Amino acid sequence: MAPSPTPPAVRGPASALIPQMRGMVEQIRRFGDQPGLRRAMPAILILAVTVLALAGWILLREPARVTLYPGLPEAEKARVIDSLTGGGIAAVIDERTGEVAVPGADYHRARMLLAAQGLPQGLPDGNALLSDLPMGTSKSVETARLRQAQELDLARSITEISAVSAARVHLALPERSAFLRESQPPRASVFLQIVPGRTLDGAQVEAIVNLVSSSVPGMARQDVTVVDQMGRLLSRGSDDPAVLLNDRQLQHRVQLETLYRNRIESLLTPIAGPGNLAVQVTIDMDFTRQEIREEQVDPDRTALLAEQSQIEETADPQARGIPGAVSNSPPPEAALEAGAPPTAAGEAATPMRSRSQNSTRNFEVSRKVETTLPATARIARVSAAVVVRAQPQPAATDPAAPPPPLLPEALKADLERLTRSAVGFDADRGDVVTITAQPFLDTVVPEASGWSAEPWLADLARQGFLLAALAVVALGVVRPILNRVLLPAPAAAGALPLGETAVEVGEGESLDDVRARLKARQGALTKNMLDAARSHEEQILVIRKLVEEDEGRIATTIRQMIAAELDTVK
């Protein structure tokens, strides 16, 4: 059998590395041949195995955990652990600190999961900021801490509302001035994060505004702004009666529609079954304000309020005295005095010049005044729509026959009567009730993830990769080094094996026979050296030694190997 081809010798700059590597190997062998090192080798192996085992335990142990939210109340910790456990995150309570801890790789995912559920709801207390205030703090820092503590306390109070998951309060408190003209009013802004599926009505927003304005001295209600997480302005800058009236009207309409819808569902659900119907109610309302004033007068019914009588008389007295210019002048007109004595019997009656008499009577006619204010929220029309889940129909025996109705007529009539009774149906008002049956689409259930998406599989793969890396390092690096250090140095090329330093010469053997025996032993030794060489560099060194000892034989072997290729080329 032809010997295997010899690898070509390395040429170029890389050939300079071979002597260096050879020298390093010789140094390592010499270091390993020291008796002290051989005696300490078991202890070194034990220490190495212990270090490797410790490193494997550190890599394969439970991952390091990070505290999620320090300082949470106990109730918040329970809610946080339930949410994280449901989300597939291994959250535990640290035995030393009592805080909620999660694996470091899941830290950010845990925070995002809790933020989506509005957790944690607890906020730090403002007293903690004041208790940590160091002595000798400047006035500006103290003022900022006090304002921050006040903001935290207000935020904690606002988050107590069930519809609010989180809140932040920003106070703009101007510095006090001795001049009244330069003073500025304090202002505040409130940012609210509403619980998904919940809303704040106008009364709750007004309550928040009043809470903030009452907590800061000198703050007016119009100086408080409330905004939600969608960027909507919940508070109003001015108390416009028209705007407030429109909001109340819309809220009243929504409440009535919800009331009517609940009535219909409570009546029809026992018949159709839970989840088998959908109800919507629309109410058209008239909020027009009307004032009717009516005044009625009854001429047949009168009443005397006042009466006044007046009599006027004028009389001229007779002429008396000596005739003359003075005596012939008429006397002054007599004045009537009340209670004057009657005229004497002998005296003549005074002639009457004029007499007048007036009488006035005031009567009040019966009158009736009525003022009527109709209701401002008048229902103009009610529209109700009910969709019932259609029951599966049996297979038709006759293909030509029309399919049966999805909802029996008798059942439809009963449902319609119940719906009309629930909403107070009025045909004159134009109310409409619509009932139909249609098949409902089932809820789309997400496809369950396979075993490849399980979290334990990723951990197992990571640990398997670490074990494989350790095995590669141990078998590919540590073991060759130990073999080179522990195994004895091979004998020099051409030397006889141990115990065979002399060759016994028998009777009648010539020198040629002894040389043949030595060559055979040398060939066996060369074969053993090739088998003992483990690395490629060691094999190259052994082959070079053979070339130096028997160049002719190696050249003949190479010529025989390439003879067939040379014939092909020719």
| Secondary structure (3-state) at 544 | helix
Best CA proximity match to 330, nearest among 315, 340, 341, 348: 315
Domain spanning 126-174+184-237: CATH superfamily:
ANL, C-terminal domain (3.30.300.30)
Within 8 A by CB and 6+ apart from 378, the residues are 285, 286, 287, 288
Task: End-to-end CA distance of the chain: give it in Å, rounded.
Answer: 26
Q: Cα-atom radius of gyration of the chain, to the nearest Å?
A: 59
The CATH number corresponding to 65-117 among 3.50.50.60, 3.40.50.720, 3.30.70.1530, 3.40.1390.30 equals 3.30.70.1530
Tens-of-pLDDT digits for all 570 residues of the chain? 444 444 444 444 455 677 777 778 788 777 777 776 777 777 777 778 778 877 777 766 666 788 887 767 777 888 888 888 888 888 888 888 788 888 888 888 888 888 888 777 665 555 555 666 667 777 777 888 888 888 888 988 898 888 888 889 999 988 877 776 777 889 999 999 898 888 888 788 989 999 999 999 889 888 999 999 988 888 875 556 666 677 788 888 999 999 999 999 999 999 888 888 999 999 998 887 777 777 777 777 777 777 888 888 776 666 555 655 555 566 565 555 555 555 554 455 556 667 778 888 777 777 777 777 776 778 889 999 999 988 777 766 777 777 778 888 888 899 999 999 999 999 999 999 999 998 887 665 556 666 666 777 777 888 888 888 877 777 777 777 766 655 544 444 444 443 344 556 566 666 666 667 666 666 666 666 666 666 677 777 777 777 776 777 777 777 777 776 777 766
Half-sphere exposure at residue 517, Cβ-oriented, CA atoms within 13 angstroms: 13
Q: Around Cβ 120, how many Cβ atoms within 10 Å?
A: 22
How much is the pTM?
0.40
Within 8 A by CB and 6+ apart from 61, the residues are none
Beta bridge partners, 525, equal: none
SS3 track for 303-317: EEEEEEEEEEEEECC
* Whether the Cβ atoms of residue 75 and residue 83 lie closer than 8 Å to each other: no
Determine the Cα–Cα distance for residues 234 and 163; give it in Å rounded to an integer. Answer: 14
The CATH number corresponding to 240-298+365-392+407-440 among 3.30.300, 3.30.110, 3.90.550, 1.10.10 equals 3.30.300
Determine the Cα–Cα distance for residues 155 and 147; give it in Å rounded to an integer. Answer: 12
Best CA proximity match to 193, nearest among 131, 269, 116, 247: 116
Torsions phi, psi for 452 (to 5 deg): -70, -20
Sign of CA dihedral 242, 244, 249, 253: positive
pLDDT value of residue 282: 93
Q: List Cα–Cα distances, 449 to 106, 113, 368, 535, in angstroms.
A: 20, 19, 83, 49
